[in-house]
Each structure stands twice: as C-alpha cells, then as structure tokens.
Structure 1
C-alpha cells in the first residue's frame, strides 16, 4: 500500500481492499511516446483503496490527483469492460455519488472484485 493512504487514514479506519492499475496501460501509444516512463510512474504511484469508511483514490507523483468519498455518499459503482478487458481482467470503474457526482477510473485491475468489496461493506 502507498504512503498517501497510510498518511490519510482517520481514527479507527481500516483498509478493506486495495486495487492496482493493470499492466495493459503499457501497451498504448501514449506510453510508447513517453518511453513508458509515464506509465511506470502511474503504475507505481496509483492507489485505489476501499476502507471501512470511504473510498480513496490517488494518481500521480508530481502532479497528484486525489479523490475521496464517504461510503454513505456513494449510490453505485459501475464497471465497464471490453472483450479484451474481460479476458485480461481489467476495466473502467465509475463511482456515482449522491447529487449526481461521478468519477471514472480506467485500466483498473480486477474491477469486478473492487465493486464486490464495496458491495460487501455497504
């Protein structure tokens, strides 16, 4: 688990599940253009964590994007997988919160397990 999540856990909060980016991101034109440096940094630094109180997502090293939402504010978690995504077990996870807020995260490894862990908690 990464440092960001460890440093931002609140009192009595425990980690239930942590997902990673899938290696498929190394096979894109964008990765090839940057000599795979960007993909390596994203792969190493991305954190997708479900705790017993919230979902925490952090991507990036220098230019960091973070997203957190309390479990009680999440209406649904949607998983989209292409045929290749189903074969290689990766996909896009979209989290829809109350008030119509939605965030999508691509190339998540084992997205159905991510959704299942969320559903088990709620």
Structure 2
C-alpha cells in the first residue's frame, strides 16, 4: 500500500525530504501504556494509540509543496505550495533540543499557519524546505 504523500504527487513532482513524527513526542502515551499495561491491559490501548499516531502521520517536502497528513480513520491534510510559504519556524524546548524533536510552524501567505508538532529532526526538514524553495525559484 502506498503512502498518502506518494499518492498525492502530481506529474513531475518528487519527494525531496520525508519527515516523521518523533517517538519522543509520544512519550506520554507510551509511558502511560507501559505503566497501565498490568491494569487489565488498559495500557495496551495507549500503546496502540501511540503506534497508530506514529504510523499515520506523514510529512514531506516535495519539489512543489509541503505535504502533511495526520490520521488513520479521520484524515487531516495540509498542503502548501512552496511559493506560498512566507516562513518556516522551528520551536524546540530543552528536551526537544536534547532529543532532536520540535514543532515546525509553516506560515503561508495571508493568515494560514500550519503547526506541525513533534517532528523528528525539525532542522533537517526546515533545511530541505529551504533548499526546495530555492530550487523552485531558480526554475522561474
């Protein structure tokens, strides 16, 4: 089964960088799952939720846009053309800096902001975005 991002690509578009949600961003679900596992398997529910959230979140920078997909049953997507993005910010706390995860805030033209929380290696995602945006402007 192909991913949402691969299925959303248009002709001539390719993936420049694929990102993931960090397992560290799901620590609260994983921790509760482990602690509550002996309690009649209630912890198993938290572990399944963490797994589904991890597996069903997709992020990508393509040659034309930024694509983000959340959700397994209920799908929520954000797709912003590279030319419509004004800025991309990285927000990392102390723990995020130590464990290399953080929130990306993609600000599009107008008032649209797309916060992407718990992203693994957000600086690499930001760098790939800037490089893709520069390549897109060179082609103009």
Q: State the TM-score bracket (shorter-chain normalisation).
A: over 0.9
Equivalent residue number for residue 76 of structure 2: 65
Structure showing greater Rg: 2
State the secondary structure of the residue aligned to 1:50. Answer: strand
TM-score under structure 2 length normalisation: 0.81
CA distance in 1, matches of 2:26, 2:113: 26
Of stretches 2-11 and 106-115 in structure 1, the one that deviates more from structure 2 is 2-11
Q: How many residues align?
A: 121
Residues 77 and 94, structure 1, Cα contact 8 Å, conserved in 2: yes
Residues 31 and 38, structure 1, Cα contact 8 Å, conserved in 2: no
Distance 1:115 1:35, change over 3 A: same
Equivalent residue number for residue 38 of structure 1: 49
Equivalent residue number for residue 16 of structure 2: 16
Whichever structure has more strand as a proportion of its residues is 1
Q: CA deviation at 1:25?
A: 3.0
Q: CA deviation at 1:47?
A: 0.5
TM-score under structure 1 length normalisation: 0.92
